[in-house]
Structure 1
Amino acid sequence: MWPVDIEQKARAIIADFTARGLKLATAESCTGGLIAGALTEIAGSSSVVDRGFVTYSNDAKIQMLGVSLATLAAHGAVSREIAIEMARGAVSHSEADFAVAVTGIAGPGGGSVEKPVGLVHLAATGRKGTVLHREMRYGDIGRDAVRRATVRTALDLLEELAQIP
């Protein structure tokens, strides 16, 4: 179902988190649950994946993750600030030790000069408070390709965050 590299990354995360007794959550907008889907494709993922939040609308981000209406008004849904609030909200509204969040413009429409198609903000955080953020500009490479690239980057962020002491 998944490209080999995504499956390998997901398998490595599940193995590492299982060995360390860690749980994770996802908060997804533009990927619509694909990150959770890639992780739960791996046998044994139920010991690691606590839950996934698909918060495609702004209302869902507010209601499910506690994203601030003021932050949405000031920065828009596709922003560093919202990705970080989504990740923090996923941790605080779950039993997870770590969470990764994504918000972006997968296309083909919806872009602007300031926020073009292919722009994705990703954030990962844990209960200790460390936050990682990536602003990715994948370009107008097609909706599927933007979403797959976002899954790859999100899995990379989870791996990186889990290695921080």
Structure 2
Amino acid sequence: MFTEKTVQELAQVLGEKLTNAGLVAATAESCTGGGVAYAITEISGSSQWFDRSFITYSNDAKNQMVNVDPQLIDKFGAVSEPVVEQMAIGAVKNSDADLAVAISGIAGPDGGTIEKPVGTVCMSWYNAHTCSKTETYLFVGDRSEVRTQAIRLALLGLIEAVE
């Protein structure tokens, strides 16, 4: 349905859906470095439906800003479903938002392993009123392409989380 839309168009659709539902979003981003928040705030009037973004690039930031248990990071790694689940929940709990997306991944060109190659990205969408979803993806491309694909998918997932 939204496969051909640009990141900016997806952010516009997200804003319309959040406005119609009376909901507010937040983000907790690691490998995308605020890219989702940037796409959202490119939309005029987004302050009505977007509260804040947590750029949690370091493990300490994940703990300090969105309450990720350091033991989870030690056990599963920063790029893991349990960590992004806590990031998404923490983003909602530490903001005035109703729902959030959390992203942690290995955009490259370095940092990949056999278990978690470059392009591995974990995402979690959390809606305090309805549902949550957590997935791991393997994107192909260079650092910029991995990040762009993650931003696009994060927006699609937020749209789905509103519906």
TM-score (norm: length of structure 1)? 0.94
SS in 1 for 2:11: helix
Q: Which residue of 2 aligns with 1:150?
A: 150
Question: Structure 1 unaligned runs (5+)?
Answer: none
Displaced runs of 4 or more, over 3 A: none
Q: Which residue of 1 aligns with 2:8?
A: 7
Identity of aligned residues (%): 44
**Could you report, residue by residue, the CA deviation over 1:75-123 in whole angstroms, capped at 9, with x for unpaired residues?**
0000011110100000100110000000000000000100100000000
Contact 2:84 2:124 in 1 (8 A): yes
TM-score (norm: length of structure 2)? 0.95
Find the aligned partners of 2:157 and 2:135 in 1 and give their Cα distance.
8
Find the aligned partners of 2:101 and 2:130 in 1 and give their Cα distance.
13
Superposed, 1:84-103 pairs within 5 Å as 84-103=85-104
Superposed, 1:1-165 pairs within 5 Å as 5-128=6-129, 130-139=131-140, 141-163=141-163
Contact 2:21 2:162 in 1 (8 A): no
Find the aligned partners of 1:124 and 1:4 in 2 and give their Cα distance.
20
SS in 1 for 2:112: coil
SS in 1 for 2:75: helix
Cα deviation, residue 4, structure 1: 5.9
Contact 2:84 2:102 in 1 (8 A): yes
Cα deviation, residue 129, structure 1: 5.8
Find the aligned partners of 2:149 and 2:55 in 1 and give their Cα distance.
18
SS in 2 for 1:123: strand
Structure 1 letter corresponding to 2:47: S
Find the aligned partners of 1:20 and 1:84 in 2 and give their Cα distance.
23
Cα deviation, residue 130, structure 1: 1.8
**Could you report, residue by residue, the CA deviation over 1:44-99 in whole angstroms, capped at 9, with x for unpaired residues?**
10101100000000000000000001111110000011110100000100110000
SS in 1 for 2:6: helix
SS in 2 for 1:106: coil
